[in-house]
Structure 1
Amino acid sequence: MKTILSLLFSIALLASNLSFAQTKPDTVKTTELKELALEYKKPKIIRKADRIEFNVENTILSSSNAWEIVKRSPNVQTSADQLSVRGSQSIIVTINDKRVSLTGEELKSLLQNMNGSDIKSVEVITSPPAKYEASGSAVINIKMKMNRTKGYKGSVNIGYEQGIYARENIGISQYYKAGKFALSGSYQFGTGIYYNEIKEVINYPEQHQQWENILHRKNKRDAEHTYRFNADYAIDSLNTLSLGADGYIAQKNHALYNVPTYIYTADKNLQSYFVTQNNRQTPNSTINYNVQYEHRSSSREKLTTSAAYTDYHYETSQDVKTDYFMIDPRSQRFLTGNEQHIRIFTAQMDYSTNKQWANFETGLKYSLVKAVNNLDFLRDINGELNNDPLLSNIFRYDEKVLAGYVSAGKDWKSWSIKTGLRAELTSVGGSSIHPEQKNVQRYFNIFPTLFIQDKLSENHQLSFSYGRRITRPVYNYLNPSKSYFSPNSYLIGDVELKPAISNQLSMTYSYKNKYAAELYYIHEKNPTSQLTIQDNVNNILIQKITNIPGNDYSGLSLSASFDPAPWWSVNLQGGPVLQLNDFIFSDGSRLKKQKWGANGSADMQFTLSKKSGLTADINFMFNTSRLQGPAVAGSTSNLSLGMRKKLFADRAEITLSLQDIYRGEKFKVTSFYKDQNNYYTYYGDTQRFRLSFKYNFGKNTIKARETKQKTDEQQRL
């Protein structure tokens, strides 16, 4: 940590001295500067019939990285390093239409290591057309520029981040093209401590007790490896073969949780307490390989075949010891070993043609998923470890999906229309030893889409979209085993979870592609929800994964993008939302809830000095309280500041950022209905300071051409 921090400040000091030095450049350097010089323009928003395209080519944003560009794209919000669209985190991220299997921190690390200068645009697709897989609520597609210039270029980056605990990273990104070959890749190494704090308060009315505990999760990751590689071979002008791989490997993850629990009487007197220590090891990896072959029979006709394989491996071993005090002093200990292995194979074929009568697309896709979860539960009885067969389990899950789609679109002078139909046949099978359960499902679904756009005039535009989507359960949510965190809390899944089906409608009016108002309605049937349920008889808090009958969202989304001054750019978005929630209790009774809320964000970028390459940005976002099953999640907000300085004739940059300045991301979830009376607060160490440095080397002239591949892969890890 000290080495990286010292190196960062040394680079900053050297850079500041060199950037202001008045030296006469030689001929070679002058040539390079001419090659690198770009006339920056403002990011452009293009509203198409089925998506919003955020064009950042040769803009101020192109000097940053992919993560900064994505989170500033229309309709996209970030919270605790999670991307969301319209408040939903059930999204798919693709690069040149190739799905990225990473999520959360791993996805952020990958995108931060991608140069913004290599990005042409970001497509935000709130109702994906038929060629995209039907899962997820939205797609964020990053379109990369393709380099036709021969030679080598790359960048190195180093960063230091400080919250309650520190994190560091160092990485490299490279590109090389010679003849018919083009190679690109990136690698990022990270280390540090990921911390969060959870406080739980549970009121047990029958015992007239209140239980309080505070969990400090200090997860240390000694070595995180994130990488991406792609190789293209142009066989000839009409045929291209591509190979790719991306992944995340972290084999040295460990943590020690210390959880004191205090039991109070009704008049707030301490009755007893116990302390739980949880020593955890969590090595994990996600590795994805893909191959594609593209054949163009003409400039209007294209056939693409592709295949992908994903290997996901996650282990959790924990040694949990609880010491009880005051009343009935004793100790209790158990150990668990949980190994999850998921393998995913997909193959697909896509055909597209540009006819005079329409743009036509069709394709087939097959996906196969095999998941195995092996849980061993050992009790410490008088110093001897004994396997508990009732709490140990082997869970197996298989899934096959065969999909086909057809889509057609047509553009007229002022009208555009695109429609499609996707059909998916799904077969699933899950089996568990303890509890002994088996579930076999076979279902067929169709997913129609419709997009209509009317250019009323040069400045006014009206569009309508409809789409039907499916959200299949996360694989480990299907496991009915009890996963204990302590003697008094566990997580349990459901082998009979159903997929959620949603219907989405929206109508959007836009003015000059800068201002927009969107009315939308989303109905979800059988959405999956994680519910907190207190067992008032045994004093146990259960995190239960289950389907709830339905959710309804309707709202108004307003957005504006404008420049109050040549040096000042502003992007605003937000609006009200009405949420309706339907929930059925174990006794058959029903609870319906309704809640109004709002969300919004403001992103401002400032060019403080164009000559010296000094820029700054301010970002603010907020979400009011919202329903989470029968519970209510509290409001959150985030104010972040950043500053960037170009160095070494724009070849390098140093960035300073302050995130979640006043800890607005801390939130509270309250369950208060029937015999449920509990709440918890959560803070994920989001108040952070970050200092980073990046240096670009080699040729940096890029010419854009149309991206190639259109493929997705099945992934719900």
Structure 2
Amino acid sequence: MMRIFFSLLLLLPLAGYTQTFTLSGRIQDTKGLAVPYANITLKSIRDSSFKRPAIAALDGGYKFTELTKGSYKILINTVGFQPFEQAISIENDLNLPSISLKDEVSQLAEVQILAVKPTITRKIDRVEFSVENTALSSSNAWEIVKRAPGIQSAGGELSLRGSKSILVTINDKKVYLSGDELKAFLESTNGNEVKSVEIITNPPAKYEASGSAVINIKLKKNLQSGYKGSVNSSYTQGIYGKGDLGTSQYFKAEKFAASANYTFGKGIFYNKINEITSYTAQQQTWYDVLSRKNYRDAEHAYRLNLEYAPDSLNTISMGINGAIAKKNHALYLIPTEIYQNGQYLSRFDTRNERFTPRSNVAYTLSFEHRFSAKETLNFAADLTNDDNQTDQNISTVYYEPDLYVNQFKNNNNQKIKLFSSQMDYRNDMPLFQLESGLKYSRVQANNTQDFQHNLPDGFGTDPELSNTYDYTESVIAGYLSLSKEIKNWSLKAGLRGEHTATFGNSVNPKELNKQNYFNLFPTIFIQNKINNNNTLGFSYGRRITRPPYSYLNPSKFYFSPNSYLIGDPKLKPAFTDQISISYAYKGNYRMEAYYMKEKNPTIQLPYQDNAANILIQKVTNVPGNQYYGIDFSASFQPAPWLALEIQAGPNHVESSFKLSDGSTLYNRINALNANIDQQYTISEKRGFSAGVNFSFITGGVQGPAKISSMSSLNFNARKKLFNNKAEITLMVSDVYRGETMTVSSKYADQNNSFTYYGDTQNIRLSFKYNLGNNALKSKPAKEKTTEQNRL
């Protein structure tokens, strides 16, 4: 199999010369007057992936060059005229007769529209949540992902069907971040850049094998010639305020295109944790209230992409994406009260001052060559540098039995370099569609920690708690995928192979860890369109989840004298098998039954040391998790001015955990989750729309911990202004603070719980003003790689 795979790749340069032709014409109205700036799309009838856009010139003229022989369809859409569609056959250069567009006649009453575009599209292997030109686009990428179908965001972490082993990508490129860093990165990504979010529960072989599922954020990219831009700003008021100001610019000539985005953000991001820990050895109960204020004083996010197409067969793209937050800092206040046998014993207050600058920059280069309308070759390379610093100055004042102060510093600096390159080949052969590719990625991570005690003559380094940790990881991957349409059947099967080599070196504690492993990841998709109304589907896939880089660091990272986080350099990757059966009726109603099993998933577990009265956030593997359930979803339009999307389903989650005595603890829960989204078009003529969203989940488990139920009610309204050149949006999120979450662990000698609230109840007001030709459409942008998600 591998010999055939490499032979196919080696034969690519031998593809023959293809003769090309030109299509031209003119667009006019029924009176013979030119229709300028009309949107024109040329599609191949035989190759669904071939789609060439254009925009009519001032005199209504248009031209398509470098076309191969075949059957095409020309589509024309422009404001004020009825859509036009015509099938054509190209054998030579072709100049079409003038196309006359008919005037669009419409009579719209207030609160009446002809149609509402659905925000959710269900495909054979994914669900696409479109947010372009909706009220959600005025928020940020984190808020958009939270609202996507089936996604939960408990405690600032994303989960799908109960599993947190999710790979987040941007334009199919992996984001090398996790946890709080991922949340902060998505919060700094302006929602105006987001076209849609894809939820891929069983990714095909072309995708990275990482994660039990993929959340792919598709950014906008314009196709048509001309200039388009916008400026936007927003202000959000929760417990504290935060705001941002940004601009988006785009220009495209015949062969050259450039796009740029910049956002400046500032504000206070707040969360609060109420923690209760019962230490059995001394019959003590500790009550902590952790108030965390993260000051993002000057966050800069930018993106620049350049594209050059010397002809219709070749495209070269390069870009730079980055985020700079040099002034970030934080203040954590933690008052603690201690009770013994129900009686007050003592208290102390901890003040944690943090300096948390961060910078992330990624350089991208890609090349695409089309041998023909059915055969393409793509090459892409990415280089990412991430620098993340956390310097802590922690002081604790103890009040009983005598007043005294304990102070120390914990300075941590993490530098990560990531490189990846990938080649993909696609050929629509007569018998089947072939997709194949190769990928190489390498990660170098360096983490230094300097722990300092406050000694009589000043701060001094503690060698026992200081450490240097280096980690390298390389992955070589290849995949082959075949798909075929046979009457009412759609078949797709793929196989991906990945070889992983890792090396971790910790100075203190002294740890050397090497791992080498090769795994195969098959995927199967079968769909049968029984008739126009009924469709059955089946899918199976196997995935891997590698631990985040920071989880492999065995250093003790202290939050207070009685609380720290510790990683494990010997963490194993987790493997997930998933199977699903689906049924769809008329495309609007869908049911999917699924079963998923994870082996060795990684979790961050609160573990209490009862002898020393210390609460440890311990990263560890658990034996396994199982998830199964049924998802029901429906999208319909009960009235011309109302569109509804409903998703709901019962599920069962089972998590296992090894106790210190070697026995296994099983934690199980039956749960129900639902999401109801309502979109109202109050006045299409005046550009006034609104929406209501409600979601809930009845609970969950993670290792030995139980997670409480959560719900969220959200409102939004949007009004277009100045002849659709501008828009103002109001959003009210988490109206009654239903997103507050409680996590409790009660087993053996462990008895602790915490309640988390992330300042999700807020009001957001945003304004956007468009520049240039607003009729220009968009397409997805170049996407991120898998390694970048694990920073």
Partner of 2:69: none
Partner of 2:90: none
Aligned 8 A contact 1:43 1:61 in 2:
no
Q: Does 1:682 align with 2:761?
A: no
Looking at structure 1, the residues matched to 485 and 213 of structure 2 have their Cα atoms a distance apart, in angstroms, of 24
- State the Cα deviation string for residues 33-62 of structure 1 (Å, max 9, x = none): 9966798642275543323345678x8679
SS in 1 for 2:184: helix
Aligned 8 A contact 2:415 2:445 in 1:
yes
- State the Cα deviation string for residues 675-716 of structure 1 (Å, max 9, x = none): 1111111111111011110011101223567x6968734221
SS in 1 for 2:311: coil
Looking at structure 2, the residues matched to 513 and 130 of structure 1 have their Cα atoms a distance apart, in angstroms, of 25
SS in 2 for 1:195: strand
Partner of 1:631: 705
Partner of 1:567: 641
Indicate the RMSD between aligned Cα atoms, in angstroms: 2.7
Partner of 2:191: 112
Count of aligned pairs between the two proteins: 684
Partner of 2:732: 658
Distance change >3 Å, CA 311–CA 219, structure 1 → 2: same
Partner of 1:432: 506
Q: Does 1:195 align with 2:270?
A: yes
Q: How does 1:686-697 map to 2 (within 5 A)?
A: 686-697=760-771
- State the Cα deviation string for residues 439-468 of structure 1 (Å, max 9, x = none): 101011000000000001101111011000
Distance change >3 Å, CA 690–CA 110, structure 1 → 2: same
For structure 2, list consecutive stretches of 5 or more residues without a partner in the other structure.
Answer: 1-35, 40-76, 82-113
Q: CA deviation at 1:95?
A: 4.6
Aligned 8 A contact 1:653 1:694 in 2:
yes
Partner of 2:260: 185
Distance change >3 Å, CA 511–CA 35, structure 1 → 2: closer
Q: How does 1:339-378 map to 2 (within 5 A)?
A: 339-378=413-452
Partner of 1:446: 520
Aligned 8 A contact 2:210 2:546 in 1:
yes
- State the Cα deviation string for residues 296-332 of structure 1 (Å, max 9, x = none): 1111111111100111111011111111112143221
Partner of 1:238: 313
Aligned 8 A contact 1:215 1:259 in 2:
yes
Q: Does 1:156 align with 2:231?
A: yes
Distance change >3 Å, CA 199–CA 383, structure 1 → 2: farther
Distance change >3 Å, CA 545–CA 83, structure 1 → 2: closer
Looking at structure 1, the residues matched to 256 and 355 of structure 2 have their Cα atoms a distance apart, in angstroms, of 42
Distance change >3 Å, CA 670–CA 274, structure 1 → 2: same
Q: CA deviation at 1:385?
A: 1.4
Looking at structure 2, the residues matched to 196 and 363 of structure 1 have their Cα atoms a distance apart, in angstroms, of 44
1:643 to 717, 740, 744: 717
Aligned 8 A contact 2:150 2:675 in 1:
no
- State the Cα deviation string for residues 198-255 of structure 1 (Å, max 9, x = none): 1111112221211111111111110111122211100211111001222221111112
Distance change >3 Å, CA 259–CA 178, structure 1 → 2: same
SS in 2 for 1:380: strand
Q: How does 1:447-486 map to 2 (within 5 A)?
A: 447-486=521-560
2:685 to 586, 611, 614: 611
Distance change >3 Å, CA 146–CA 345, structure 1 → 2: closer
Q: How does 1:309-324 map to 2 (within 5 A)?
A: 309-324=383-398
Partner of 1:20: none
SS in 1 for 2:767: strand
Aligned 8 A contact 1:492 1:544 in 2:
yes
Q: CA deviation at 1:549?
A: 0.3
Q: CA deviation at 1:149?
A: 3.1
Q: CA deviation at 1:161?
A: 0.5
Q: How does 1:241-640 map to 2 (within 5 A)?
A: 241-266=316-341, 268-640=342-714
Amino acid in structure 2 at the alignment position of 1:652: A
**Percent identical:** 52
- State the Cα deviation string for residues 408-445 of structure 1 (Å, max 9, x = none): 00012210000000000000010111111111010110
Q: CA deviation at 1:276?
A: 1.1
Looking at structure 2, the residues matched to 377 and 146 of structure 1 have their Cα atoms a distance apart, in angstroms, of 46
SS in 2 for 1:256: strand
Amino acid in structure 2 at the alignment position of 1:168: G
1:128 to 196, 203, 224: 203
Amino acid in structure 2 at the alignment position of 1:549: P
Looking at structure 2, the residues matched to 65 and 687 of structure 1 have their Cα atoms a distance apart, in angstroms, of 14
Aligned 8 A contact 2:205 2:522 in 1:
yes
SS in 1 for 2:383: strand
SS in 2 for 1:458: coil
Looking at structure 2, the residues matched to 63 and 475 of structure 1 have their Cα atoms a distance apart, in angstroms, of 31
Q: CA deviation at 1:356?
A: 1.1
Looking at structure 2, the residues matched to 280 and 698 of structure 1 have their Cα atoms a distance apart, in angstroms, of 44
2:785 to 695, 705, 712: 712
Aligned 8 A contact 1:84 1:90 in 2:
yes
For structure 1, list consecutive stretches of 5 or more residues without a partner in the other structure.
Answer: 1-29
Q: CA deviation at 1:585?
A: 1.8
Aligned 8 A contact 1:77 1:85 in 2:
yes
Amino acid in structure 2 at the alignment position of 1:49: I
Partner of 1:6: none
Aligned 8 A contact 2:137 2:192 in 1:
no
SS in 1 for 2:185: helix
Partner of 2:246: 171
- State the Cα deviation string for residues 121-165 of structure 1 (Å, max 9, x = none): 654321111111100222344556754432211111111100110
Distance change >3 Å, CA 205–CA 78, structure 1 → 2: closer
TM-score (norm 2): 0.82
From the CA coordinates, give the structure whose radius of gyration is larger.
2
Aligned 8 A contact 1:65 1:114 in 2:
no
- State the Cα deviation string for residues 511-536 of structure 1 (Å, max 9, x = none): 11111111001100000011111111
Looking at structure 1, the residues matched to 358 and 140 of structure 2 have their Cα atoms a distance apart, in angstroms, of 25
Distance change >3 Å, CA 669–CA 98, structure 1 → 2: closer
- State the Cα deviation string for residues 379-398 of structure 1 (Å, max 9, x = none): 11224212110100000101
TM-score (norm 1): 0.90
2:117 to 26, 37, 42: 42
Aligned 8 A contact 1:371 1:398 in 2:
yes
Q: CA deviation at 1:89?
A: 4.5
- State the Cα deviation string for residues 465-506 of structure 1 (Å, max 9, x = none): 100000000000000011111111110000000000000111
Amino acid in structure 2 at the alignment position of 1:260: P
Partner of 2:50: none
Amino acid in structure 2 at the alignment position of 1:195: Y
Aligned 8 A contact 1:488 1:541 in 2:
yes
Aligned 8 A contact 2:397 2:405 in 1:
yes
Q: CA deviation at 1:629?
A: 1.1
Aligned 8 A contact 1:249 1:286 in 2:
yes
Looking at structure 2, the residues matched to 163 and 309 of structure 1 have their Cα atoms a distance apart, in angstroms, of 37
